[in-house]
Structure 1
């Protein structure tokens, strides 16, 4: 069941994160927002475990989320960002072959949280990569990729290095940004779950009640079962492409930007998203 009041509270915390220039304050507000979302998700799971009517009423859903237009370069990093957010919020994702959309499987409130976080973080990710390219810091660096030289039995795999192109710098930057965001959100989620389980351990639960840990496990199994029933996906989606090349410098810059990101959801869904330019 969608909880607009919860989304409003989360958005308020995230706006506070965006409106402060203090990196530590921004981190505190961001983690508070993720932990609030996790706490609400836990409450829902426990409520469903105790109330058969709630279990019947609140079930997993599938939602299609648009990522970008066909042919736009770099959509893979956009998808990577959404997937990182989804993993921290109990949502499973299938990815379209051309990366233009994803299918999210999970509870409605969890998917709402994912979209709110993604909307803000995508804008920040593109803006941060724009700034990185404008700075010119990528110039003078190289990218590396594994290629096969020769033909037949004489062929061999070698590492090819070349000057770092802007599009390769951008893709590496944004990939590392997405990875760092995933780590931050997962840490906040895990802290909220540990607190909830610890509260159970500190008090004697009423006879016949379900523990938080068990309710969360039941929720995980229900989403997993729903996904197996509904998904028609084939193969495994990978966040990076071997053909794009690897740049340690660009990835380090993207990781730093991901650490500093101020997570906010005060922008409307469907706001214009930055284009990837070569």
Structure 2
């Protein structure tokens, strides 16, 4: 757990640096570094778990955690879930969501879930702040649509763009670890494959989801200008410099 705490502290420091700069290129570099650290830690843990299994030692096991997204009847929670899922996919975490988007259940290794929650907390604040700013902007006045429609379009685009950025960084970090020049690329590939299989089997055995979450389809509305703004701000979102946390959180504010 000490290694995970150090990881979260480092990611937190990077996020603070990102949030403290007005230079979008610096912010992008901090965000990229945060996801690279998260992926490298996840890879190292997978290799360590494989070695522990070979020696018959105890190792971290997959688990599940319920995370509150927002209160019942709160409007717009589906885009919050979309953001959480986008971050989770980049960090080896599977997600089930309540039909009304008030909570999610995350399945994965504890450190991966911790990382996902940390990134979600800070990126959610950026997404909400950005959508509010857009609604008060001249751009929204030039393309007037209902406020709720514009907000949801902005947030959907923001979540999609941030998720893509995180997955790109994860893929690059994995490619580096598996490169032919890597000292133990073959062993790392085997450890990651075993982890993927174990997580899939754990999810299959423990998920009680029935059907497919449809919150993203209910979000509705067509506001291309708002979506463009959300995509643009998602590209500039500061993925590094998030605040420190002391451990897993029981719930997150809406």
Normalised to the residue count of structure 2, the TM-score between the two structures is: 0.91
Please say if residues 173 and 254 of structure 1, whose CA atoms lie closer than 8 Å, have aligned partners that are also in contact: yes
Do 1:35 and 1:189's aligned partners in 2 also have CA atoms closer than 8 Å?
Answer: yes
Structure 1 residues 29-51: Cα deviation after superposition (integer angstroms, max 9, x where no partner): 11101000100100010111122
Separation of aligned partners in 2, 1:178 and 1:93: 15
Match of 2:173 in 1: 192
Cα deviation 1:151-202 (Å, max 9, x = unaligned): xxxxxxxxxxxx620000000000000000000100111111011011xx22
Counterpart in the other structure of 1:266? 243
SS at match of 1:51: helix
Task: Tell me which structure has the larger Cα radius of gyration.
Answer: 1
Q: Provide structure 2 residue ranges, at least 5 long, that are not aligned to the other structure.
A: none
Q: CA deviation at 1:139?
A: 3.4
Aligned residues: 247
Residues in 1 aligned to 2:8 and 2:202: alpha-carbon distance in whole angstroms: 25
CA gap of 1:71–1:197, structure 2 versus 1, over 3 A, is same
Which structure has greater strand proportion? Answer: 1
TM-score using structure 1 length: 0.83
Q: Which residue of 2 aligns with 1:241?
A: 217
- Given candidates 84, 87, 108, the residue that maps to 2:86 is 84
SS at match of 1:105: strand
Q: CA deviation at 1:265?
A: 2.0
Q: CA deviation at 1:57?
A: 2.6
The 1:107/1:204 distance shift into structure 2, 3 A limit, reads closer
Instruction: Write the deviation string for residues 48-100 of structure 1: whole angstroms up to 9, x where unpaired.
Output: 11221677431100001110010010000000000000000000000011100
Comparing both structures, which one devotes a greater share of its residues to helix? Answer: 2
Q: Where does residue 13 of structure 2 map in the other structure? A: 12
* Distance in 2 (alpha carbons) for counterparts of 1:243 and 1:267: 32
Q: 1:49, 1:215 within 8 Å by CA — same for their partners in 2? A: yes
The structure whose RCO (Cα within 8 Å, separation 6+) is larger is 2
Root-mean-square deviation (CA, aligned residues, Å) is 2.1
Correspondences of 1:166-205 after superposition (within 5 Å) = 166-198=147-179, 201-202=180-181
- SS for the counterpart of 1:5 is helix
User: How far apart are 1:221 and its partner, in Å?
Assistant: 0.7
